[in-house]
Chain A
Amino acid sequence: MTGSTEIVGQETGKTSLLIRRIVAYVVLVILVFISLLPFYLLFINATRDKAQIGIQWYPGSALIENFRKLFAASTQVAFGNVYKALLNSLIISSCASVLCVYFSALTAYATHVYQFKLRKAADTFILLIMMVPTQASAIGFYRMMISLNLIDSYIPLIIPAIAAPATYYFMKQYMASSLPLEIVEAARIDGCGEFRTFNTIVRPILKPAFAVQIIFTFVGNWNNFFTPRLIINAREKYTVPLVLSAMSHAGPVERDVAIFYLYMVLAILPVIVVYLFLSKFIIRGVALGSVKG
């Protein structure tokens, strides 16, 4: 890369490289600014009073006051139980992500380790259904939940996570690269049952894949707006995005933007914190998932 190639037209090459570098950094800084500005304004505005309008760059002093107003009874009446919605979202996302990852790994394990007639067919089928968007069966799903009396229940938000083709695919790839079949053989020789092999020997090996996928599915469920919107009507069952939606419907009189900002902070802060700690792994996971072709 260096030395011989840079001797040719060294001077012009160096200035053009410098210009390109400056342009690149300027564009990057602008993009960083654009990406962070909305969230900066969000955090600033969450600390400000309803009366302070227009753009301001410094935090205000009304944070505690806003917290008090957010959890006040009048807010609960207008937008549903904002505090319980956080808890509801947490319960749904935790259950769904754990179930999703565990059963996807189990399914991938089935097609990875065992030889049976329908193995190839099952694998192809799961790959095919990966392309079917949830929305494609939405109305049938909704009608069915009505007839099963599962409207306002969390079952339709949690249980379907068991069948997650994308997570299956990730697990399958991970197993292909880091789960030698000899380990399973050895466990069998030692008299370990199949189910126990999976739970006590295979699962620890898959820990890194579990971690990445739990984060992804947790965030996906935490942020999900479409399915809860379909299923949940009762205010006490609201999840966080539904509360945000109810807030966006507020009329000019009951509109107190400061507490909306504060609630948005509560909605996104957990994800941001987890992301900042694990961004390296998450970004690597995104890049890995992409090059499946």
Chain B
Amino acid sequence: MKRKSVSYAKWGYIFLAPFFIVYCIFALYPLIQTFYNSFMSYVIDRGTIDDIWGSATGAKETTTITWGGLSNYSAVFSKDETLVQSFLNTIIMWVIGFIPQIAVSLLLATWFTDLRLKIKAQGFFKTVIYLPNVIMASAVAFLFTCLLIRDGALYNFFGPLAGDSPAGGYLSILDKVWGTRATVGFINFLLWYGNTTILLMAAIMGIDPGLYEAAQIDGATPSQTFWKITMPLIRPILSFVLVTSMIGGLQMYDVPSLLTLDQGNPQGKAMTIIMEIQQRKDSDVGKACAVCVIIFIISAILGFITMFGMDDSREKKKKRRKV
């Protein structure tokens, strides 16, 4: 016999309501609008040269919105050279930051979890390497600008690398394409390697210690243990780190923006796609929307890859357990 009970279902809906109302107004509706406008040729002519620090609502702006089909998308991929270049820049700067980041993080995570190595003062090291991650990225970028420009504290070290001389016109490495890109990559490395180390440590500590003991008894060298045990077993977290870092890299904005005064100079080679969105928000709205949609699609694809990757590994584990 089932007793008649009070239904609390309505409270579920009431408690969910604020989240969904806010989400629909401030995220879902704008997202749909962005998709819609990405198919429009949506250009705002403000009459004068844009002052990026000027007011958003100019007096004599004229807006033209016509159906544009896929023209915005073809602009992003081929016709509009600055957009294509910005895409490339974003990828290059992400790679420059990510490769040292993953290498150093793997090394540190292995050392911190190595039972024979017994690193002392781990709390201190972890606190220090994670510290840059909580600091305002735009402040770190501006700090590096101030350190590297002429008369900056680190100018004497890095100026000569850029061919600095009275004859050469006192260049800092921020006047060179590779110098700016390397600086952006380095800052991203600095901000994120601590975070990655901690994620990888959590993964490595989840591995059965018996495996390491067995390897040690069998006389495996540390590098063998690393490549044959650690690497295969942390692959799900590695793919998670890779994908989240790629999504983050796609959104790279604060650092290159502060470092290059929003211009992405030298020669637009440090411009990222998010900087393009900000620059075109009041003029070339259609193309900016197309860039947004592309970011959405890439993030969605990457997100699903990790989800399936992780599910896959979990299923394998379950199967193994059953056997």
- Chain A interface residues toward B at CB < 8 A: 1, 5, 8-9, 17, 20-21, 24-25, 27-28, 31-32, 34-36, 38-39, 41-42, 44-45, 53-56, 103-104, 106-107, 109-111, 113-119, 122, 126, 129, 131-144, 146, 151, 156, 159-160, 162-163, 168, 194, 198, 219, 222-223, 225-226, 229-230, 233, 240-241, 244-249, 257, 260-261, 264, 267-268, 271-272, 275-276, 279-280, 282-283, 286-288, 290-291, 293
Contacts and interface: CB of A to CB of B under 8 A. Distances in A.
Given A35-B190, A230-B278, A194 B8 contact: yes
B31 A139 contact: no
B156 A31 contact: no
B14 to A, nearest CB: 8
A98 B90 CA distance: 34
A225 B142 contact: no
A141 B26 contact: yes
Nearest to A38: B143
How extensive is the interface on chain B, given as a class? 35 or more
Interface in B285-299: 285, 288-289, 292-293, 295-296, 299
Q: What are the 9 closest A-B residue pairs judged by CB atoms, nearest first?
A: A114-B12, A140-B30, A140-B33, A131-B303, A110-B15, A140-B34, A136-B296, A163-B23, A116-B9
B9 A225 contact: no
Contact of B142 (A5, A103, A248, A290): A248
Interface stretch (B75-83, B91-99, B132-140): B132-140
A105 to B, nearest CB: 10
A20 B22 CA distance: 54
Interface SS of chain B: helix, strand, loop or mixed? helix
B292 A137 contact: yes
A133 B293 CA distance: 11
Interface of B: 8-16, 18-20, 22-23, 26-35, 37, 53-57, 104, 107-108, 111, 115-117, 119, 123, 125-132, 134-140, 142-147, 151-157, 190, 194-195, 198-199, 201-203, 206, 213, 216-217, 219, 222, 236-237, 240, 247, 250-251, 253-254, 257-258, 261-262, 274, 277-278, 281, 285, 288-289, 292-293, 295-296, 299-300, 303, 310, 313-314
Contacts of B262: 245, 249
Contacts of B54: 233
Given A31-B129, A111-B16, A279-B127, A160 B134 contact: no
